[in-house]
Amino acid sequence: MDLEEFRRRAHEIVDFVADYLENVERFPVRSPVRPGEIAARLPDRAPEEPEAFERLMADVEQIVLPGLTHWQHPRFLAFFPANSSPPSVLGEILTAGFAVNALIWQGSPAATEMETVVLDWLRREIGLPEGFRGVIQTTASEATLAALLVAREKATGWRSNEEGLAGGPPLAVYASEEAHSSVEKDVGIAGIGRGNLRRIPTDDALAMQPEALEAAIREDLERGIRPCAIVATLGTTGVGACDPLRPIGEIARRHDVFLHVDAAWAGSALILPEWRHLADGVELVDSFVFNPHKWLMTNFDCSAHFVRDADALIRTFSILPPYLRSAETGRVIDYRDWGIPLGRRFRALKLWFVLRLYGLEGLRAILRRHIELARELAGWIDREPGFVRVTGPHLALVTVRFEPEGLDPERTEALNRALPEAVNRDGRTMVTPHIVRGRAVTRLCVGQTSTERRHVEEAWRAVVEVARDLEARLRAGEELPVG
Ligand SMILES: Cc1ncc(COP(=O)(O)O)c(C=O)c1O
């Protein structure tokens, strides 16, 4: 493809994407295809000869589109959002076009220095103290792993990277029983051992109980186990609960334990002054991650990771082979030393586009709209006969159960276990199943970039209609499929 053709095709692709976003509401939110259906439509081998662009785009329409789950659909209420936005897509186009590898400063000074500056803008806006320094990691899972590796190094007197963990005492990590599965995965990858992750009980709001945390730390100390890190969550995946950072931070300080905060979703809300209280005590933490790629209109991947002691992060990750040396080594930031991968995309560019083209006020307005819509949704739930709001709204996240009158507990539970899948099969919206204190709930999270009131209303109507249909089938003696 020569550059003239590229120019023409690129315009066509941008038109295609704009049309897609304009019409995305017409698609079922979740792809209706069955496992294997898409693969079966793709040839077994790559083509020997170049193919026509038109044929390729025809396959995009006929094979790819039906196999998409439309995360940018305004009635998408599943998981946490994975925001995109026109400014972010434009930034991504430039990133792809420049195609630099910012592994070291020389790899592209603009990529490195913009990352430093834009993350410092974000640091200030989410209320982290000066002195914290930021880096874009690929995902929150990876940022948490990076944090745990620093904690592991510190807890072993900087020996674990060199010697492994075999010679020292076992280490322990503490996170609430509601913490994201990535914490457990990361504890395993870090060699600490999943069995050494202490799941700390939660209170009525499903937030970590600081007294239980302290008791667990003391118990480990008595048994000769070295407390290594605490992972607190702001905005748990299930219900959006926030662990209390101040008492947890004080415990971390008292016992000299590294404190990382996973604020993957809720961290974006800290740009709203009225929600800053959620992070009260944040000045006590060592490490903090949140995902602009979840709820700050920025395309995946973009995890903003802040650390109090950047030297510790660098000491954990730095390796300097001769081919990565440059005249500036030691005088500039080489982000390869700030995390796991060596190669890095110019990810700050899309964030810069988002921050400049929306402005902070523009972003705040979108987040406030989502939070307000979740509040309205909570009101509709409360007024809908038979429905029970189980948790929330926590920011923009609500969980709900359908408990129709006269249905015995067993069948009510069966109904609620079947509900999310039935809603998703219906296609008007997409939701996530969850279990709260042993009971099945349907989890609804508002947060897609273009979601308006009517979309949440339509989505809620769909949930109600599907739930009532399931109830009728149950009462008629039908067995409901689970999930
Ligand atoms: C609280 C929390 N932490 C971590 C993650 C993992 O995020 P990522 O996909 O960026 O690794 C999620 C994902 O939803 C999450 O909810």
Is residue 146 located within the same domain as residue 233?
A: yes
Using CA of residue 238, residue 364, residue 277, residue 138, what is the dihedral sign? positive
State the distance from the centre of ligand 1 to the C-alpha of 56, rounded, in angstroms: 34
Give the pLDDT confidence score for residue 118 in this predicted structure: 98
Q: Is the peptide bond before 243 cis (omega within 30 degrees of 0)?
A: no
Atom number in ligand 1 closest to CA 80? 14
In a domain, 90, yes or no: no
Question: Which domain does 459 fall in, by range?
Answer: 1-30+69-82+360-483
**Average pLDDT, 10 consecutive residues per value, the chain (483 residues):** 96 97 96 96 96 97 96 97 96 97 93 98 97 97 98 96 91 97 97 97 97 98 97 97 98 98 98 97 98 97 97 94 84 93 96 98 98 98 97 97 94 95 97 96 97 98 97 87 67
State the distance from the centre of ligand 1 to the C-alpha of 3, rounded, in angstroms: 39
With H, G, I as helix, E, B as strand and everything else as coil, classify residue 310.
helix
In a domain, 297, yes or no: yes
Is residue 341 located within the same domain as residue 385?
A: no
* Most informative mutation of 178, 231, 237 for ligand 1 (most atoms within 8 A of CB): 237
Is residue 125 located within the same domain as residue 228?
A: yes
Closest C-alpha among 276, 302, 300 to residue 289? 302
State the distance from the centre of ligand 1 to the C-alpha of 69, rounded, in angstroms: 19
Closest C-alpha among 373, 384, 305 to residue 76? 373
Give the pLDDT confidence score for residue 93 in this predicted structure: 97
CA distance 316 to 383: 54
Atom number in ligand 1 closest to CA 143? 11
Is residue 281 located within the same domain as residue 425?
A: no
Give the pLDDT confidence score for residue 322 in this predicted structure: 84
Is residue 75 located within the same domain as residue 131?
A: no
Give the pLDDT confidence score for residue 466 in this predicted structure: 97
Is residue 333 located within the same domain as residue 398?
A: no
In a domain, 250, yes or no: yes
Convert 328-349 into a string of H (helix), E (strand) and C (coil).
CCCCCCCHHHHCCCCCCCCCHH
Is residue 236 located within the same domain as residue 368?
A: no
Is the entire prediction scored with pTM above 0.85? yes
Give the pLDDT confidence score for residue 481 in this predicted structure: 75
Is residue 413 located within the same domain as residue 463?
A: yes
State the distance from the centre of ligand 1 to the C-alpha of 235, rounded, in angstroms: 10
Is residue 23 located within the same domain as residue 143?
A: no
In a domain, 412, yes or no: yes
* Sheet strand arrangement including 133-137: 133-137, 303-307, 287-290, 258-262, 226-233, 171-176, 197-200
Backbone angles phi, psi at 188, to 5 degrees: -65, -50
Give the pLDDT confidence score for residue 320 in this predicted structure: 85
Is residue 212 located within the same domain as residue 264?
A: yes
Give the pLDDT confidence score for residue 321 in this predicted structure: 84
Give the pLDDT confidence score for residue 330 in this predicted structure: 85
Give the pLDDT confidence score for residue 25 in this predicted structure: 95
State the distance from the centre of ligand 1 to the C-alpha of 354, rounded, in angstroms: 21
Is residue 244 located within the same domain as residue 392?
A: no
Our measurement of the distance from residue 297's CA atom to the centroid of its chain's CA atoms, rounded to an integer in Å, reads: 13
Tell me the residue type at 421.
E
Is residue 156 located within the same domain as residue 251?
A: yes
Atom number in ligand 1 closest to CA 291? 10
In a domain, 87, yes or no: no
CATH code for the domain of 161 = 3.40.640.10
In a domain, 76, yes or no: yes
Give the pLDDT confidence score for residue 482 in this predicted structure: 67
In a domain, 49, yes or no: no
Give the pLDDT confidence score for residue 256 in this predicted structure: 97
Pocket of ligand 1 (CB under 6 A): 80, 139-141, 180, 182, 233, 237, 262, 264-265, 291, 303
CA distance 109 to 99: 14
Which residue lies with its CA nearest to atom 9 of ligand 1?
A: 139
State the distance from the centre of ligand 1 to the C-alpha of 156, rounded, in angstroms: 27
Q: Token match 């190094």: residue? A: 153
Q: How many domains does the chain have?
A: 2
